[in-house]
Structure formats: structure tokens, C-alpha cells
Amino acid sequence: MPLSMNRDVFITCAVTGSGDTVSKSSHVPITPKQIADAAIEAAKAGAAVAHCHVRDPETGAAARRLDLYKEVTDRIRSADVDVVLNLTAGMGGDLIFGNVESPLPLNPRGTDMAGATERVAHVAECRPEICTLDCGTMNFSLGDYVMTNTPSMLREMARQMTGLGVRPEIEAFDTGHLWFAKQLVEEGLIEDPVLIQLCMGIPWGAPDDLNTFMAMVNNVPDNWTFSAFSIGRNALAYPAAAVLAGGNVRVGLEDNLYVAKGQLATNGQLVEKAVSVIEGMGARVIGPAEVREKLKLVKR
């Protein structure tokens, strides 16, 4: 993909994620009402897309309960602001080995392996406009945890998402994930227009230095739409990098808890900062209606 700055940019806000961030910031939403309110806040601040996980309302731990997704979805759709709904489908592929000397049996605390139909059950129930597809397996963070997405699993999940009329947002954490995404498109399991998110700086995927980022960007086909983000300390710089490289922007408390050094953020503040960067570069922030037209989404 040739380098060409994007002049019409949409912002995705990833409002909560599934990581261990609840103990680090009181702004991370936990309950369905809090998550929906965060998505609405982000939309009012300028986000066209709200990317949502759900959490156990009692503990804040990652969850994938249908009732929680349904409540979040209903609350967002009944709000007085429009936003494109994007639900994660990344849960259900968590594999935690015992230890380095005795990898089996698997550690039951945190291991959560589900079949393809179960992993997209909330997508079938809620019918968001977009849902994510983590397009590969990788060592994730520290210890004995592996994010597991086999080729067979990804093919079946992509088939079901497409059959439901939901646009997959391919999550590429490394170059091999991007390679396999092209294979899914070639096999007709993901239809045009293709949407991909370049997920940078997550241990132990693609690092977020600019050389690696541009290697990823340069392997995105010209007719695909891409967004990009990084986590942690470089998250605030990535809106500029993504726009300059021709892409769109993702921010939110899933990826980064701070709006400035030592200053905890809300989702709305992170979106406002992204809007400022985008407009300061001479680009335009587009809304949900234009995103739906661009990506041929079905509003529900």
C-alpha cells in the first residue's frame, strides 16, 4: 500500500477490553450500563465506532455472557446518539498451560476454550454491524498464556460472521496474521469491503516502532480499509502515525489508561484528544453514517 495520508478518518473507541485494568483505573467501565454509557460518551466526543467487550459486573473480570452483551447492545441502540456497534469475538480462545515443567494439565484458572459457534453466539444474538476476528495465535503477555486461534477455527468463525451479515474486523497482531487474513479473503470467507485493525505493541506480537508499523501497512492491500493503534506509552502518538500512513484511528481504555503523563483518562477524553490530532493534521473526522456507507454496513 503506497503511503498517502488519510483525509477522511473515522475513530474507533475500544471502551473496556478484557485485560486486568480495572484495578488500575476507576474509569474502566465494568457493568453493562457503565460500558454502554462509555460507548455513548465516546460517540458524543467524536467516535464513529464503539468496540465493546463485557465484564463480570461483580468482579470486573472478562466475560462472554450473552445476557451482558444483550444489555450493552440494547442500551447503546436506545441512546440519543448514533454509533456503529463493534463487538469482540476474541473470547473463548484462552489457553493457559500448567508450568514450564508440567504444561499439562492446563491451568483451569483462566483457560477458556470454546467452539466456533459458541464464540460467535453473542454476535448471532445481538447482530452488531462489526465484530472482531483475531486472525492468529500468539504468546500473549507473560507466563504460560497463549491466545489460540487455529486456521480451522478462524475459517469457521469467518464463515459464520459473514453468514450473519456482520462485517468482520480482522485483528492483526503480527505479519503472519495479516498473511492469513489475505487467505481468508481469497477463499471468499470474508467479503469486500475488507476491514482490518493493525494491533501494535502488544507483547509478543508486532512491536510498535515505525519500521514494523510501515511493514504492516505496506502489506495491507490497496482496496482494504485499515485502522491502527498501540498500547501504553505510545498509544497517544499512534493516531498521528495511523492517519499519516493512510489509516483510521483507534483509542480507548482497552489500550491505554492515560490522557497525559500521570493523568488517568476517560474514554471521552481519549476520543477528544484523537479528534484534536486528526483535525490538527488537516484531516476530517467522519461519523457513523459515512462509515456505514464506506464499509457497506447494515444498521440494526
In this prediction, residue 233 has a pLDDT band, given cuts at 50, 70 and 90, of: confident
pLDDT, the chain, mean: 95
pLDDT of residue 47: 98
Helices (H), 53-170: 66-77, 116-119, 121-126, 151-163
Cβ atoms of 251 and 260 within 8 Å: the answer is: no
Residue range 122-180, pLDDT digits in tens? 999 999 999 999 999 999 877 899 999 999 999 999 999 999 999 999 999 999 999 99
Q: How far apart are CA 136 and CA 16, in angstroms?
A: 22
- By the 10 Å C-beta count (0-12 exposed, 13-18 middle, 19+ buried), 158 is classed as buried
pLDDT of residue 137: 96
The arithmetic mean of pLDDT across residues 94-105, rounded, is: 92
pLDDT of residue 112: 92
pLDDT of residue 232: 82
Residue range 52-66, pLDDT digits in tens? 999 999 999 999 999
pLDDT of residue 109: 87
* Residue 17 pLDDT exceeds 70: yes
Q: Under CATH, what is the fold of the domain 8-295?
A: TIM Barrel (3.20.20)
Q: And the C-alpha cell for 66?
A: 450473552
Cβ atoms of 73 and 85 within 8 Å: the answer is: yes
In this prediction, residue 121 has a pLDDT band, given cuts at 50, 70 and 90, of: very high
Read off φ and ψ for residue 14, nearest 5 degrees: -90, 100
* Residue 1 pLDDT exceeds 60: no
pLDDT of residue 178: 96
* Residue 30 pLDDT exceeds 90: yes
Cβ neighbours for 115, distance < 8 A, ≥ 6 positions apart: 92
Read off φ and ψ for residue 281, nearest 5 degrees: -85, 0
Nearest to 62 by CA among 17, 111, 15, 116: 17
pLDDT of residue 298: 85
Q: Which residue shows C-alpha cell 485502522?
A: 227
pLDDT of residue 195: 98
The span from the first CA to the last CA of the chain, in angstroms, equals 33
Quick check: pTM over 0.85? yes
Q: Is the dihedral of CA 219, 223, 224, 229 positive or negative?
A: positive
Read off φ and ψ for residue 9, nearest 5 degrees: -115, 135
Cβ atoms of 96 and 103 within 8 Å: the answer is: no
In this prediction, residue 90 has a pLDDT band, given cuts at 50, 70 and 90, of: confident
**What percent of the chain has pLDDT above 90?**
92
The arithmetic mean of pLDDT across residues 96-125, rounded, is: 94
Residue range 249-292, pLDDT digits in tens? 999 999 999 999 899 999 999 999 999 999 999 999 999 999 99
